Amino acid sequence: MTTTIPASEFTRNFGHYRMVVQRETVAVSSHGRITGYFVAPAEYEAFQRFKAQRHSFATVELSEAEAEAIGASRMDERHAHLDALLDPK
């Protein structure tokens, strides 16, 4: 669950939201737009661990054989219903 509050409220009552964030995330807004999130330390640390474990690469880093293998791969038939989502009909 996330509570959304205006930045002015967050500033005036930081001590209160410091306790709230131990139970739920606090979204801080300004002029009706979310400008940031106040999260518990454990949640932030978990997010940092997740980011550190992500592995990404640029497609130009693939060998020709790897690119061909990806191009030739096909989705398992159990997921064929997802093709309908891509069909512009």
Q: With H, G, I as helix, E, B as strand and everything else as coil, classify residue 28.
A: strand
- What is the chain's alpha carbon radius of gyration, rounded to the nearest angstrom? 22
Q: Are 37 and 28 in contact (CB under 8 A)?
A: yes
How many folded domains does the chain comprise? 1
Q: Is residue 83 part of a domain?
A: no
Query: Hey, what amino acid is at 13?
Result: N
Q: Is residue 57 part of a domain?
A: yes
Structure token pair of residue 45:
């640390």
Domain residue limits at 49: 2-76
Q: Is residue 86 part of a domain?
A: no
pLDDT tens by residue, the chain, 89 residues: 889 999 999 999 999 999 999 999 999 999 999 999 999 999 999 999 998 888 777 888 889 999 999 889 888 889 888 888 887 76
Buried/exposed 70-84: b ≥16 CB within 10 Å, e otherwise: eeeeeeeeeeeeeee
Q: Are 28 and 38 in contact (CB under 8 A)?
A: yes
